[in-house]
Amino acid sequence: MKASRVLLVALATVVVAPVHAHAAPLAPPATHQQTSTASPAPGNQPAVSGDEAELLYAMERAETELKRSPLLVRDPALNGYVRGVACKVAGDQCANIRVYIVDVPQFNASMAPNGMLVLWTGALLRMRNEAELAYVLGHEIGHYTARHSLQQWRRLKSASAWMSVFQLVAYGAGAGGVAQLGTLAGSAALFKYSRDMEREADRLGFASVVSHRWAPHAGADLWARMWREEQTRKYDRPLTLFSTHPASQERLNDIKAASMAMVAPPTDLGRERYRAAVHPLFPKLLEEELAQRRYAGSILVIGELLEDAPTEDQGLLTFSLGEAYRRRGLNDDRAKAADFYARAIALPGAPAQAWREYGFTRRDAGDTATAMDALRRYLRDAPDADDQAFIRRELEKIGGSP
């Protein structure tokens, strides 16, 4: 099979994961025969010649598949908001960029050489404000305008990194669900950029944030949190965003320094705008985060969200922390969960389930009266819940009437 056909198969197989993992390239830096790296002209796809047309054809197929994917988030308001920020950042490249939000509970964003920008919902959960979103999108669009993935393509064609394409086919053949997307992302050599490319994308992202008057520290704030999350994964594979990337701390220092060096920096974070757009998804995003069963990371992520949360989100986030501890169930996790449920029900925005879980912890503690009150409150607040019958039986077992 011709090598280029193998890539086509690989890309078509992993279309829901067209990601770059911000990692060092598998191939050694090759000498480029073609060195045209100028930004694509506004309103046009990048001009390509010969073999690169194959790459763009493959990406177009991937994009067609992506549009049909059940993982694509289609909510018009959210898409409109993210696209608006992307367009602002992209400036005269706006017409070349298409943004796709994909329902995967990990932090990642990627940019394909044909202008297909993919953002995972795990990133939306983790970002705090519009300035951070702008930084991430600016970074990705920087990869596009600097034509990094076209350069990677040239490397792939000229080096032993073809092996990674074969790996991709093997992974793709067995790919079943979301859990494997991260693995796939890590092996998509096409989207692994060199350190120099990452630095350039960081610089371009930073410049676009600042030029639109967003606060310059947003990128460094986000990176610092991702770095902390990465430290919770000692025995797990790295965050998709980092994959095998060796230079995260160095990049963090660089963007921090760039932000500190600004005299009279702009201060707009766009917290309220971001929150208004993303907040309706919060319960779903939190549930998907917990469903990954990576509790150490989730406890950190949710705990940090809580530190910075507006009052009306505190009940939901506190309940979610309780859920993380209860589901993990190690050592004194149950006691911690009980404590978070008790706090959650006293806070604004607590979901009905907080009353249910609080009720169970009181039942287990032998506090029958409080348990029954809490479970009755749950039945009242969640009249359509599919565990209504189950909770009624529980109430009877405890000794009361529903």
Size of residue set near Zn ion by CB under 5 A: 2
Least Å distance between CB 243 and Zn ion? 11
Q: Which residue, 111 or 210, is less far from Zn ion as judged by CB?
A: 111
Beta bridge partners of 101: 119
Q: Which residue, 198 or 221, is less far from Zn ion as judged by CB?
A: 198
Q: Kindly give, in sequence order, each residue whose CB lies less than 8 Å from that of residue 162, ignoring residues fewer than 6 positions away.
A: 3, 6, 156
Left (φ > 0), alpha (ψ -120 to 50) or beta: where does 401 sit?
Answer: beta
User: Are residues 28 and 190 in contact, defined by beta-carbon separation less than 8 angstroms?
Assistant: no
The tokens describing 221, both together, are 């704030």
For the stretch 180-210, what's the b/e string if a residue is b when 16 or more beta carbons lie within 10 angstroms of its beta carbon?
Answer: bbbbbbbbbbbbbbbbebbbbbbbbbbebbb
Least Å distance between CB 245 and Zn ion? 9
Only segment of 27-35, 91-99, 199-207, 344-352 that touches Zn ion (CB under 5 A): 199-207
Measured CA to CA, the distance from residue 313 to residue 310 in angstroms comes to 6
C-alpha count within 13 angstroms, C-beta hemisphere, residue 367: 12
Q: Which residue, 83 or 143, is less far from Zn ion as judged by CB?
A: 143
- Contact with Zn ion (CB under 5 A) among 124, 185, 201, 241: 201
Only segment of 125-133, 193-201, 223-231, 362-370 that touches Zn ion (CB under 5 A): 193-201
Beta bridge partners of 102: 72, 120
Least Å distance between CB 201 and Zn ion? 5
**Residues 17-56 contacting Zn ion, CB under 5 A:** 22
Residue 245 contacts Zn ion per CB under 5 A: no
Q: What is the DSSP letter of 25?
A: -
Only segment of 58-66, 126-134, 195-203, 290-298 that touches Zn ion (CB under 5 A): 195-203
Only segment of 58-66, 152-160, 197-205, 383-391 that touches Zn ion (CB under 5 A): 197-205
Q: Which residue, 96 or 314, is less far from Zn ion as judged by CB?
A: 96
Q: Which residue, 66 or 136, is less far from Zn ion as judged by CB?
A: 136
Q: Which residue, 22 or 343, is less far from Zn ion as judged by CB?
A: 22
Only segment of 200-208, 334-342, 351-359, 369-377 that touches Zn ion (CB under 5 A): 200-208
Least Å distance between CB 140 and Zn ion? 7
Least Å distance between CB 33 and Zn ion? 24
Least Å distance between CB 237 and Zn ion? 18
Measured CA to CA, the distance from residue 63 to residue 58 in angstroms comes to 9
Measured CA to CA, the distance from residue 342 to residue 39 in angstroms comes to 55
Measured CA to CA, the distance from residue 395 to residue 87 in angstroms comes to 54
Least Å distance between CB 319 and Zn ion? 34
Q: What are the distances in angstroms from CA 294 to CA 22, 136, 179, 299, 302?
A: 21, 24, 12, 9, 12
Measured CA to CA, the distance from residue 164 to residue 353 in angstroms comes to 45
Convert residues 152-191 into a mask of x (bound to Zn ion by CB under 5 A) and - (unbound): ----------------------------------------
Q: Which residue, 85 or 374, is less far from Zn ion as judged by CB?
A: 85
> How many CB atoms within 10 Å of residue 316?
25
Q: Which residues bind Zn ion (CB under 5 A)?
A: 22, 201
